Amino acid sequence: MLKHDYILEWIKRYVQWLAQILGFIRAQDFEAAMQRVDLALRTLLGVGPDSVTTLTEGEILARLTLEDPPPLVREKCVIVAALLQQLGEVCAAQQREAASHDCYLKALQIVLGLRLRPEESLLPEFAPRVTDLARRLRGAAVPPRTHAALLIYYEQERQFDQAEDALFALLETAPQAADSVAIGLGFYERLRVLSDEVLAQGGLPRAEVEAGLAELRARAQGFNPP
């Protein structure tokens, strides 16, 4: 019970901080928002806003673990992702586009890492939304592994049209990568066994699935000439 109460109190404190930061952003008091973000990040990770995006997801997780129970580590990861999203909004308002992009990308990678774990698929309400972060990164440079993770996420959510968009973004990022084509072939083959109704509900009718599969098979032939 003591550990459970500790986790709840910890979460409550940081959710209050997130709400305060959001209030500062809405009031366009970006200096106050940055100060609160700085305090929260230094408390959690030991680094400030200028350094947090240089950490890998593994480094962030290592800094958050510190013998805490898994439920608290998960909540810490969600809080860091939310802080990064808010930091990205502050940077965008200050016209620091590169810094804003880095914050949104790191937040997206953390949230996807949590969403794609079966036991972690349900995250708290304050967790950043994958679709919101992906929208903010539209048209920006995103690593192939993030496009691949988005494909898996959207497929699991049965948003097949969004999954296909992620696939073609992956193919554009790594056009000569046979692995990317193999990922796409697997995606379309999995969709083929679904009903027409399910495909239509996911925004990708069967005709589009077959067309995409044919295109990927043609690309695969280029990697394996007769």
CA atoms of 127 and 82, how far apart (whole Å):
6
Q: Which residues contact 3 (CB under 8 A, 6 or more apart)?
A: 69
Least confident among 57-61, 121-125, 160-164, 191-195:
121-125
For residue 73, CA distances in Å to 36, 44, 79, 162 come to: 21, 11, 10, 30
pLDDT (tens digit per residue) in 15-31: 899 999 999 999 999 99
**pLDDT for the residue numbered 56:** 87
Band (pLDDT 50/70/90 cuts) for residue 1 is very low
**pLDDT for the residue numbered 2:** 43
**pLDDT for the residue numbered 67:** 63
For residue 179, CA distances in Å to 41, 148, 157, 167, 174 come to: 36, 11, 23, 12, 9
Predicted TM-score of the model (pTM) = 0.89
* Average pLDDT, rounded, for the chain: 89
Helix axes 70-93, 30-45, angle to 10 degrees: 150
Q: With 80 as the cut, is the pLDDT of residue 214 above it?
A: yes
Asked whether 188 and 212 are in contact (CB, 8 A), the reply is yes
CA atoms of 128 and 125, how far apart (whole Å):
8
Q: Which two tokens stand for residue 105?
A: 């990308």
